[in-house]
Amino acid sequence: MTKLKIGLVLYPSFSPFHVSVPYMIFGSILPEESLFEVFLIAPDSSAISAERSMFVQPDGGLELLATMDVVIVPGWHKLDEKPSAQMLYSLREAYNRGAYLVGLCYGTYALAYAGILDGKKACTHWLAEQDFKTRFPQIQLDTNALYSEDQRLITSAGTGASLDCCLYIVRKFFGVKIANKFARLMVVPPHREGGQAQFIEHPIARSTLEAQINTLFDFLRENLAKPYSIDELATVVGMSRRTFTRRFQKATGMTVVEWLVNERLQRSRELLELTALSIEQIAERVGFQTATSFRLHFKQKHAVSPTAWRRTFGANTLIEMPFPLNH
């Protein structure tokens, strides 16, 4: 069987951890069944420094990209810094020649700067979502996917998702059986449920410039289980319905219903992670009328079910909470 040539593109101050993921999977996880030939590639053939003064001797310079089947950029050190003109040219040439190009985590930035992602779908770490959209509006950023492929361009979300992405590459070229063997040796699932939406923090403002709205926040957070109407809440703050909805929207950027759903979902995540309450009990405590409604809202927001969330983030020792968590 012909080995697949994998080129890992290093750059000044690269992260050893980002490089270690593809290097381990493609270079050493199955030494007795060598399917890949891994090359460390630097801007030139001289030693290159990583973070914290670590130096790596590459196998060669960017000229090696001309012979690679898969070219991987594992992360990127400065999001506002373009790769060198030579690196951009070499990436474009490799892609035009027919190679697969892979951007792991912020490595998507290098491919984006090269222009080869224009008009195509891509993903990167959720922390860079707004920055990436601003810099590259011509790219279709998928903010939920752990990894994606569009016309031989493969990109992944955060460093953890690099594992998922690399296993996808193994599966793509050598099939499910081999990929599952890799996954078992790595003690990771061959495919994870959901996308990176489940890992994104969704902070809700604790307060606003509106004192009356802040008072309402405190009231609602202490009484999330109860159903509310707009008219009832307007009465609580002493406003007309129209004035209340307008000022609430201005203060929070959300409608009252949207705010309540977000707050209830935030509380439900805490209960899923920290307690052994059933899905039905959690739905009741946070104010969803039914467990079905809770599941629908949760899946819509996080792209996974409440049960899947608990499996991922739940404490090893769950405790029964006699009362709702206070903030």
153 and 218 both lie in a single domain: no
Q: What type of residue sits at position 323?
A: F
* More confident of the two residues 113 and 314: 113
Q: In terms of domains, do 265 and 174 share one?
A: no
User: In terms of domains, do 148 and 251 share one?
Assistant: no
Residues 166 and 232 in one domain: no
**Would residue 63 count as lying in a domain?**
yes
Secondary structure E strands in the chain:
4-9, 36-41, 48-49, 55-56, 70-74, 100-104, 121-122, 140-141, 147-150, 153-156
Domain membership of residue 326 (yes or no) is no
Same domain flag for 171 and 67? yes
Per-residue confidence (pLDDT) for residue 28, from 0 to 100? 65
Q: For helices 241-252 and 256-274, give the axis angle rounded to 10 degrees.
A: 60
Q: Which two tokens stand for residue 43?
A: 């801007």
**CATH number of the CATH domain containing 48:** 3.40.50.880
Q: Do residues 68 and 7 lie in contact, with contact meaning Cβ atoms separated by under 8 Å?
A: yes
Is 202's pLDDT higher than 70? no
Residue 204 lies inside a defined structural domain of this protein: no
pTM of the model: 0.61
Lowest mean pLDDT of 73-87, 173-187, 219-233, 287-301, name the range: 173-187
Two tokens at 279?
A: 């899905």
**What is the tens place of the pLDDT at every residue in 227-282?**
999 999 999 888 999 999 998 888 888 899 999 998 999 899 889 988 889 999 99
Residue 282 confidence (pLDDT): 95
Looking at residue 189, its pLDDT comes to 62
Structural domain span for residue 261: 211-313
Residue 324 lies in a domain: no
Q: Which residue did the predictor score with more confidence, 130 or 28?
A: 130
Same domain, 226 and 127: no
Sign of the torsion angle spanned by Cα atoms 20, 25, 26, 28: positive
Domain shared by 193 and 220, yes or no: no
Residues 30 and 172 in one domain: yes
Indicate the pairing of strand 70-74 with strand 100-104: parallel
Q: Are residues 178 and 86 in the same domain?
A: yes
Count of domains observed in the chain: 2
> Reduced to 3 states, what is the DSSP secondary structure of residue 102?
strand
DSSP 8-state code for residue 254: S
CATH classification at residue 248: 1.10.10.60
The verdict on 215 and 135 lying in the same domain is no
Give, to the nearest 10 degrees, the angle between helix 279-286 and helix 306-313. 100
Q: Name the more confident of 112 and 214.
A: 112
Q: b vs e for 286-315, b when ≥16 Cβ sit within 10 Å of the residue's Cβ?
A: bbbeebeebbebbeebbbbbbebbbeeeee
pLDDT band of 200, cuts 50, 70, 90: very low
Domain boundary among 172, 199, 226: 199
